Structure 1
Amino acid sequence: MTSTASHSATPPHGRPAPGTGAADAEGPLPVGPSDPAGPAGPRGPWAVRSVRATRGRAALEVYEHGELLDVLVAARLTPQLLRGARRCAVPGARGRYGLAWGRLPQGGAAPAVRFTGGWLRRAGGRAVEVPEVITVAGEFWIAWARGRFGGVLVEHAGGRERQPLARVRGRRRGAPVGTAGGQR
């Protein structure tokens, strides 16, 4: 499901790295580079796993090109639900994908997520794609869709949050794992 950076074989936190064959606390999630496009997850450089933090709180780890990109720990310190958003083109797959992730609102229901923008236009405005959204560990959500997108919109009882999708650059052939294009 994932590739791991060379330093991830014995991570300093003592938990097994994704893709090492060891069982994760909550298991790997259906997002990763070797998964087929569709309900099981998008193609792309991403992998996600759910774990339990040291104090028993749920945590979500998001990986990109086998390297840790983001960690969310279950907490209600911020009303912000949208944590990150990325987009990439998959060489050989003739497809582009968007991925967004964040925390669930207080009630635990998944927010309404829409990927927006891109080159496709519809009558009356920009193209909008309602992605597949899954909840993770009762604390987090992940959404993905295939298409050319420029941003993501998350709507919930507390309001709306928008964020542009950061572009993921592909790794060069032969570049060390954990570097995009061979540069840090």
Structure 2
Amino acid sequence: MSHAMAFPATPLPASGWELRVGRGSRRRPALEVHTGDGLIDVAVARGVDTTLIRGAVRGRGWSVAWGELPSGGEVLVEFHAGRSVLKAPAVTIAGAFWVAEVPGRFRSVVVTTAVGRVSLRVRRFRQARLPSR
């Protein structure tokens, strides 16, 4: 995977994560999801396993979801926890992916496009602990 594509890294302020664009097979953009623990996901645009919602996790006081943009390029992202719903702005990355980060701990994320809706349970993310001295 090469970081040579001309897209700046996208920092996620609440989680401290960073999204980078690399180069996948056939020179397609690839979204790399980096946490304080390192690289946790790589998604290649229009790859074999294209999914609208690629991942969704929550940490201490934040939730984040990411995926591939549909052909129309528009997504509406909502985070759910019981009766609480928070609409989140989706940031487009490299014209092929989206990411949304919100404050709060949510249980599911729903992404709506012009052709349908997809939901995914938000997994809990635990950062690795540093070894004690």
Q: Shorter-chain TM-score: which interval?
A: 0.7 to 0.9
1:153 pairs with one of 90, 110, 129: 110
Deviation string, structure 1 residues 67-124 (Cα, Å, up to 9, x no partner): 21111111165663111000000xxxxxx10000001011222x00000015xxxxxx
| Deviation per residue, 1:12-64 (Å, 9 max, x gap) | x5x46xxxxxx764221122xxxxxxxxxx32252211123353211100122
Q: Describe the SS at the equivalent of 1:98.
A: strand
Corresponding pairs, count: 132
Larger radius of gyration: 1
Q: Which has the higher contact order (CA 8 A, sep 6+)?
A: 2
1 or 2, which has the higher strand percentage? 2
1:165 aligns with 2:129: no
Alignment partner for residue 43 of structure 1, among 14, 30, 34?
A: 14
Pairwise CA RMSD? 2.2
Partners of 1:136 and 1:169 in 2: CA distance: 25
CA distance in structure 2 between the aligned counterparts of 1:153 and 1:134, rounded to whole angstroms = 15
66, 70, 78: which one pairs with 1:114?
A: 78
The residue number in structure 2 matching 1:56 is 27
TM-score (norm 1): 0.64
Counterpart of 1:29, as a letter, is: T
Query: Identity percentage over the alignment?
Result: 39
Aligned to 1:105: 70
Task: Summarize deviations over 1:152-174 as a string: whole Å, max 9, x none.
Answer: 01111221111111101132232
The answer to whether the Cα contact below 8 Å between 2:81 and 2:107 also exists between their aligned partners in 1 is yes
Confirm or deny: 8 A CA contact 2:11 2:17 kept in the other structure: no
Unaligned runs of 5+ in 1: 1-12, 17-22, 32-41, 90-95, 119-125, 176-184
* Conserved? CA contact 2:79–2:106, under 8 Å: yes
8 Å CA contact 2:76, 2:88 repeated in 1:
no
- CA separation in 2, counterparts of 1:97 and 1:157? 27
Tell whether 2:1 aligns with 1:30.
no
TM-score by length of 2: 0.86
Q: 2:50, 2:24 → 1: CA distance?
A: 21
Per the alignment, do residues 54 and 163 of structure 1 end up closer, same or farther by CA in structure 2, a change over 3 Å counting? Answer: closer
Helix, strand or coil: the match of 1:43? Answer: coil
Shift of 1:135: 0.3
* Alignment of 1:88 onto 2:88: no
Contact 1:46 1:66 in 2 (8 A): no
Q: Structure 1 residue 72 and structure 2 residue 48: aligned? A: no
